[in-house]
């Protein structure tokens, strides 16, 4: 008595022989080629979720580089030497303190390159004082910062220290000068 496996083998062999007799090698290869080409063309347009790739390339919220960056993004050019929470995310703007806070009397100053016009700008990073820490959009680019034992060139400092209230809220980035062109 033949088993199911033998019957299946027999059926498969008969089908293969019939197909081999009816279909030429060339048309079989053309068929396989069509299937491969169709797959290659169809797969890239299928609606896959590519958002993680976009985020890795910086087109999302916390990515590397976004072009052009806006004033709530840490990689916005004028934030090149900041250490603090961006006031633009805290109810103020890149250049103004949020309501209920006042700008620090002393500040850290950095030099940042503006890719839009190819010039270098002197940027004053004044802290905004008088309300508890904002906690949004922390940005720690710190270009030009040196270790704490070199106090005059160290930026991890609460610049509200000489205001009436030394409570730190967020940091602004105000252009105070432009470098001469070579």
Just list the catalytic residues.
108, 127
Contact between 145 and ligand ABN per CB under 6 A: no
Report the relative pairing of strands 102-103 and 168-171 from DSSP bridges.
Answer: unpaired
**Interface segment toward ligand ABN; rule CB under 6 A; list 37-45, 93-101, 153-161, 173-181:** 153-161
Instruction: Decide if residue 159 touches ligand ABN (CB under 6 A).
Output: yes
Q: Shortest approach of ligand ABN to residue 127 CB, angstroms?
A: 5
Pick from 179, 182, 160: nearest CA to 171: 160
Q: Under the criterion CB under 6 A, does residue 121 sit at the interface with ligand ABN?
A: no
Q: How far is the CB of 125 from ligand ABN (least distance, A)?
A: 7
Stretch that binds ligand ABN, among 8-16, 19-27, 63-71, 157-165 (CB under 6 A): 157-165
Query: Could you tell me where the DSSP H helices lie in 23-155?
Result: 25-42, 51-56
Asked whether position 101 contacts ligand ABN by CB under 6 A, the answer is: no
Between CA 61 and CA 48 the distance in angstroms is 20
Q: Is residue 85 classed exposed, middle or buried when 0-12, 13-18 and 19+ CB atoms within 10 A define those classes?
A: buried
* Cα(108)–Cα(159) distance, integer angstroms: 8
Measured CA to CA, the distance from residue 24 to residue 134 in angstroms comes to: 74
Q: Which residues within the stretch 40-59 sit at the binding site for ligand ABN (CB under 6 A)?
A: none
Binding ligand ABN (rule: CB under 6 A), the pick from 84, 91, 92, 110 is 84
Q: List all residues 6 or more positions away from 39 whose beta carbon is below 8 Å from its beta carbon.
A: none
158: contact with ligand ABN by CB under 6 A: yes
Residue 79 sits in the site that holds ligand ABN (CB under 6 A): no
* Beta carbons within 8 Å of 86's beta carbon, 6+ residues apart: 71, 72, 74, 79, 94, 136, 137, 138, 139, 170, 171
Binding of residue 171 to ligand ABN (CB under 6 A): yes
| 156 lies in the binding site for ligand ABN (CB under 6 A) | yes
Q: Does 172 bind ligand ABN (CB under 6 A)?
A: no
Residue with tokens 């088993």: 3
Give residues in contact with ligand ABN (CB under 6 A): 83-84, 127, 156-159, 168, 171
């Amino acid at each position: 008595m033949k088993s199911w496996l033998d019957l299946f083998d027999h059926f498969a062999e008969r089908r293969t022989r019939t197909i081999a007799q009816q279909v030429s090698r060339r048309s079989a290869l053309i068929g396989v080629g069509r299937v491969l080409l169709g797959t290659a063309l169809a797969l890239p347009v299928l609606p896959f979720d590519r958002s993680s790739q976009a985020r890795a390339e910086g087109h999302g919220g916390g990515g590397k580089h976004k072009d052009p960056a806006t004033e709530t993004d840490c990689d916005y050019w004028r934030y090149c030497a900041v250490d603090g929470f961006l006031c633009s995310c805290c109810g103020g703007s890149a250049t103004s303190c949020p309501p209920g806070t006042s700008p620090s009397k002393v500040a850290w100053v950095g030099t940042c390159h503006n890719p839009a016009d190819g010039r270098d700008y002197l940027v004053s990073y004044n802290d905004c004082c008088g309300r508890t820490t904002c906690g949004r959009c922390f940005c720690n680019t710190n270009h030009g910062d040196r270790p704490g034992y070199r106090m005059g060139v160290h930026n991890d400092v609460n610049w509200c220290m000489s205001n009436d209230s030394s409570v730190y809220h967020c940091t602004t980035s105000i252009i105070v000068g432009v470098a001469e062109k070579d």
